[in-house]
Amino acid sequence: MIFATVGTQLPFDRLLAGLNNWAARNPVVPVFAQTGASQRKFDHIDTVEHLSQSEFATRFSAARLIVSHAGMGTILSAAELGKPLILMPRRLKFGEHRTDHQQDTATEMAHLSNVTVVADGEALHEALDRALVQGFPVAKSEADTVSPKLEPLLNVIRDFVWEQPTAQRGA
């Protein structure tokens, strides 16, 4: 019912441990996590190190709620499928990423109607409790709101591929 993913490069045990602790208190809610580079064992959630793209897509669409690091792949997929999404950004200061850009991503994406951003395990528990009480409400798809920015980008790429003249510099 809950699908968690932390990407594949560096460990992100802060998120996984927080989720595991919550799952220990909520054994009726099945949690499945792609743990990536984590070396730890988590007793209260089902884990797999890595999923193929098709397995990932299957798990993703079956889930009622997604818990994730602030990775754009997950954010885009959740918006497309209208999945509620809890984001915990990886932080440089904890050695969870090579830069602090996930913090920026999370800040910028917090306005999406399906996104809740949490900073730590405690906030994650609160967000999960809230989602559980509300019965994992289905988020509305963001598909309609993405097109205004996407179409101009597609056009500039199209022009570039077919060598159509376009102005070289933005304002």
Partner 1 sequence: MPVRHHSRPVVLAVSSGGGHWVQMQHLTPAFDGAELHFATTDPSAADRSPSERIHTYPDANKDTPLRLLVCVLRMAWILLHIRPDVVISTGAAGGFLAIRLARLIGARTMFIDSIANARKLSISARLSIGVADRVLSQWPEVAQSTGAEYRGAVI
Distance CA 107, CA 74 (A): 15
> Minimum CB separation from partner 1 for residue 86, in Å?
17
> Minimum CB separation from partner 1 for residue 121, in Å?
23
Query: Which residues, listed in sequence order, are joined to residue 4 by a DSSP beta bridge?
Result: 33, 67
* Both structure tokens of 40: 């730890």
Residues 6+ apart with CB under 8 A from 114: 78, 79, 82, 83, 84, 85, 139, 140, 142
Residues 6+ apart with CB under 8 A from 97: 10, 90, 91
Residue 77 touching partner 1 (CB under 8 A): yes
Among 107, 122, 126, 130, binds partner 1 (CB under 8 A): 107
Among 25, 73, 120, 129, binds partner 1 (CB under 8 A): 73
Within 43-62, which residues bind partner 1 (CB under 8 A)? 52-54, 57
Q: Which among 13-21, 40-48, 67-75, 118-126 is the span making contact with partner 1, rule CB under 8 A?
A: 67-75
Residue 98 touching partner 1 (CB under 8 A): yes
Among 133, 134, 163, 165, binds partner 1 (CB under 8 A): 163
